[in-house]
Chains A and B, each alone.
Chain A
């Protein structure tokens, strides 16, 4: 099993390297899962390769999500989980982003399904996706302040809830 995953991972790495020698910054193997770390400016190109290349055929973008490693830098990790239905294969593409400049190319032009996935990450982490045509908050109200899934956003006590008055006051005015 692990040999197979290694081989298929090698195929993806080779193809990406053949397309652009700088496309693979790092390959991480953990518990049989392969993560390919891609430089930020090459993400969309690498994703296009993964989708269009006749030997890779990653036709389904199953998930895109972010991890915040605050206070480490680069704090944000964008993870894209790709599935190739015809080849029965999975791969994870990763981009690392610094907290001061959380901007990455949108994958909307590659997979239309990236639309709500990226909107969710934008809403909850505040990552901006360049080239996304409809980057609005999706789960939280439009006037919400802050991005709750960041690690420096507290689980409770972020601010007073006006309707409860002093009863549940957590922060000092």
Chain B
């Protein structure tokens, strides 16, 4: 507690414990707030409540087994986590997935980006008192989850992207399902914008709240929509393309206002860009073609081959019992997840289990800018700021 000067004389500050069970933290995050009346003097985030030691667990699994753990890091974007891990292992092995698999990967992660932004928009609006948007967003997210279920059999923990390709051939009727979604979605985004963009209350709660300069944002290692709202068009899909993103045409939306409203506008524009990418992916994905790379001993053989060829059966057996051993070395791959730059660092010592798997979690690193965003602001703005950083506590604590 410290003494502060106010208009009416000196006063004592108060320490308020926000969380760990506060609904607006979308998980379990505790923030110690030092308050002067309603103004935040100092904020200290306290995390680790969801720490499950995923990186340690990875060291005790074979390379293929780790994929199921990656689903659980950022549970709003499991496909993105699958992708970054598989890309890192593929880089370590010097392996490349076939083009068709790469396009299907792009399709899936872009659908994931929309679904993640929908959860963000819905819950963020709910935090700020707009309940209708929440219901609308979850209605559309359900459609995306149905598509995921079609492809992988799972709504959330998909484990669909595998080392060297993808798990399954796209199911019958997948094109129609994605087409239906593409037809429906643009008008639904308009609907959210009608409810929010020019809404007086929404503007009042978000405009000019939680500003950060571009220099500060880069210095604090912020990435993703938060950085793009500060005017820096840093997007891994454009700067360091992976999975054939260089063949897709899309824009990187940026804003210069760098407040909560700007971040909202960037994310809404990103959803529209993702729709464009999905449309192009739909045209690029052929009906036939390999979905997994030819890499005996690393990529499991097709079921039919396994039943008829002895070598295939041996490889199948070896992959699922002892795994495979990449050459000693390290690989670091970054992708653009809905929350920012998601990185995966994999180090191999030549054994079938990784020496080290590390995830560069964008929400963890973006969250460290929170005190900078909220100090000097009102306590109600804290909620808006936590919302627009878009944290997923599973990813923050890992």
- Give residues in A with beta carbon < 8 Å to B: 30-33, 35, 59-63, 65, 67-69, 79, 81, 85, 88, 90, 92, 111-117, 120, 124, 137-141, 148-149, 151, 153, 155
Q: Is the CB of A155 within 8 A of B332?
A: no
Contacts of B91 in A (CB 8 A): 31-32
Q: What are 26 of the A-B contact pairs (CB < 8 Å)? A: A30-B329, A31-B91, A33-B331, A60-B221, A62-B223, A63-B343, A63-B345, A63-B358, A63-B360, A67-B355, A69-B355, A81-B332, A85-B218, A85-B232, A85-B234, A85-B239, A113-B219, A114-B221, A116-B364, A117-B365, A124-B55, A139-B397, A139-B398, A149-B356, A155-B59, A155-B60
B residues near A32, Cβ cutoff 8 Å: 91
Return the contact of A138 from the options B48, B216, B329, B334 (Cβ within 8 A). B48
Closest to B328 in A: A30
Inter-chain contact A63/B218, CB cutoff 8 Å: no
Q: Report if B94 contacts A (CB, 8 A).
A: yes
A-contact bits for B325-347, CB 8 A (1 contact / 0 none): 00001111010000001010101
User: Restricting to B200-227, which residues have a CB under 8 Å from any CB of A?
Assistant: 216, 218-223
Complex Cα gap A117–B364 (Å): 9
B56 and A155 contact, CB distance less than 8 A: yes
**Residue pair B51, A139 in contact (C-beta under 8 Å):** yes
In angstroms, Cα B48 to Cα A63, docked, is: 19
Contact partners of B53 in chain A: CB under 8 A: 148
Q: Is the CB of B56 within 8 A of A79?
A: no
CB distance from B298 to the nearest CB of A (A): 15
How far does the alpha carbon of A52 sit from the alpha carbon of B59 in the complex, in Å?
Answer: 37
Knowing A79-B330, A85-B239, say if A31 contacts B94 (CB, 8 Å).
Answer: yes
Q: Which residues of B lie under 8 Å from residue A81 when comparing CB positions?
A: 332, 343, 345, 360
Measured between alpha carbons, how far is A90 from B330 in the docked complex, in Å? 14
Chain B residues with CB under 8 Å of A155's CB are 56-57, 59-60
B190 within 8 A of A: no
Chain A residues closer than 8 Å to B218, beta-carbon distance? 59-60, 85
User: Measured between C-beta atoms, what is the minimum distance from A38 to chain B in Å?
Assistant: 16
Residue pair A111, B94 in contact (C-beta under 8 Å): no
Q: Is the CB of B48 within 8 A of A140?
A: yes
Chain B residues closer than 8 Å to A140, beta-carbon distance: 48, 51
Interface residues on B, range: 35 or more
Give the chain B neighbours of A141 by CB distance below 8 A: 48
Note all chain B residues with C-beta closer than 8 A to A148: 53, 56
Among A35, A88, A116, A120, contact of B330 (Cβ-Cβ < 8 Å): A35
CB distance from A128 to the nearest CB of B (A): 19
Give every chain A residue within 8 A of B349 (Cβ-Cβ).
69
Choose among A62, A69, A92, A124 the residue that contacts B360 (Cβ–Cβ < 8 A).
A62
Contact B365 A113 (CB under 8 A): yes
Alpha-carbon distance between A141 and B49 when the two chains are bound, in angstroms? 9
Given contacts A62-B341, A115-B368, A117-B365, 12 further A-B pairs with CB under 8 A are A31-B91, A33-B330, A33-B331, A60-B223, A62-B343, A68-B356, A85-B218, A113-B368, A116-B365, A139-B398, A140-B51, A155-B59
- Given the interface pairs A35-B330, A85-B234, A111-B219, the reply to whether A67 lies near B347 with Cβ below 8 Å is yes
Closest 3 CB pairs of A and B: A113-B221, A139-B48, A63-B360
Chain A residues with CB under 8 Å of B94's CB are 31
Task: For the complex formed, measure the closest distance between the CB of A126 and the CB atoms of chain B, giving whole angstroms.
Answer: 14
B329 CB contacts on chain A under 8 angstroms: 30-31
Known: A31-B94, A60-B218. A149 touches B331 (CB 8 A): no
A92–B398 CA distance with the chains assembled, in angstroms: 23
A116–B360 Cα distance when bound, in Å, is 12
Q: Does B47 contact A (CB under 8 A)?
A: yes
Closest to B345 in A: A65
Judge whether A138 and B47 touch: CB under 8 Å.
yes
- Residue B92 CB within 8 A of the other chain: yes
Docked complex Cα distance between A33 and B341 (Å): 18
Map CB proximity to A onto B14-52 as digits: 1 under 8 Å, 0 otherwise: 000000000000000000000000000000000110010
Which single residue of chain A is at the shortest CB-CB distance from B360?
A: A63
Picked from A88, A115, A139, the residue with its CB within 8 Å of the CB of B240 is A88
Q: Which residues of A contact B232 (CB under 8 A)?
A: 85
Residues of A within 8 A of B219 (CB): 59, 111-113
Question: Taking CB as reference atom, which chain A residue is nearest B355?
Answer: A67
